[in-house]
Amino acid sequence: MKKSTVRWPAEWEPHSRCLMTWPHREDVWGDRSLKVVQGDYAAVAKTIARFEPLLMVANPGSGKDAKRQCGENVEVVEFPVDQAWMRDNGPIFVFEDKRLIGLNFRFNGWGAKYPPWENDDALPVPLCKHLNVECRSVDMVMEAGGIITDGEGTLITTEQCLLNPNRNPKMSRSDIEAVLRERLGVKKIIWLPWGLHDDTTDGHVACVVYFAAPAKILVQTAPPDTVDGPRLRENWKILEAATDARGRKFEMIEMPLLPSLTDPGPIGIHTYLNVYSPNGAVVVPLADVPEDEEALDRLRKVFPDREVVGVPLTNIAYGGGEVDCITQPMPAVPT
């Protein structure tokens, strides 16, 4: 019998919809009010819904409010959730031949730092059932924000996150690689040492690298006199020397803009690489600083065939993430 072929598609491939989760907890956003944060989530959802269908998952009892704020173009469904970061608590979709499968990796609140997480760990099962997609459990802790792909067999991740003992303490690097190869169908795994130093996710790769196209990557850098400067330069050197699964050298595009969010003191880092690419567009987080316009200009040159749209993300960023973190693409099944 012929063995089935598994492939994890790239984000720029066609989507059938985008998945998001509606925020409902007051304790996640620092001094930002839940009402303000929900307003920003709704703005992101409405922006993405211009380009592709969007499904918003709301905690039971908050669906009506989500629908009121997001509008008629956004579908809302209620399932128990703990956090509003769909990239990490939602399913990872792969193709098995031409059939879509939802993978349910284990979730433990980013290394058991942010309880409770039981509802988030269970979310892919009812969500895949609602989407009429088979759900398969994977006995390994991992968030989708910790890995990226070109859809052609290349996966990039960080040692800081995926090898952190707070995820899978009994698994070696080779054990983890074996799971990634089997379940995601990847052929080449590139390990970067670092994400951002103050990233509460333990250094998700989605904040430092983004695939713009096959063999073409956006790479975050920072001034050499900052904590992130030497770390991100080390990432750069590894990628500069690497090849993808098809043996191609990478075209590397530097993104040196990395503004700090301050109000009134240092709060965190805002990265313009934490984007979402709906059908025909790129949605970019804005920090409400002068660098925003330069970042949009740079990204418009990288994505000339897509509409590059900025959305305000300072309030959401106080919770620890940006556009990539709150979205999960559901690929369209090839015809």
Q: What is the Rg, in whole angstroms, of the alpha carbon atoms belonging to the chain? A: 18
Residue 97 gets which letter from DSSP? T
| Tokens linked to 4 | 């089935």
Considering the candidates 70, 128, 207, 325, report the single residue annotated as catalytic: 325
Residue 235 gets which letter from DSSP? H
In sequence order, which residues have a C-beta less than 8 Å from that of residue 143 and are 6 or more positions away?
A: 87, 88, 89, 105, 107, 110, 161, 201, 204
In sequence order, which residues have a C-beta less than 8 Å from that of residue 177 and are 6 or more positions away?
A: 189
- DSSP labels for 51-85? TS-EEEEE-TT-HHHHHHHH-TTEEEEE---S-S-
Cis amide leading into 264 (omega within 30): yes
Return the axis-axis angle of helices 63-70 and 34-49, rounded to nearest 10°.
60
What is the distance between the alpha carbons of residues 220 and 211, in angstroms, rounded to a whole number?
Answer: 12
Q: Would you say how long the chain is, in residues? A: 335
Q: In this structure, are residues 11 and 281 in contact, taking their beta carbons and an 8 Å threshold?
A: no
Q: Which amino acid is at 190?
A: I
325 is catalytic: yes
Could you list the active site residues?
325
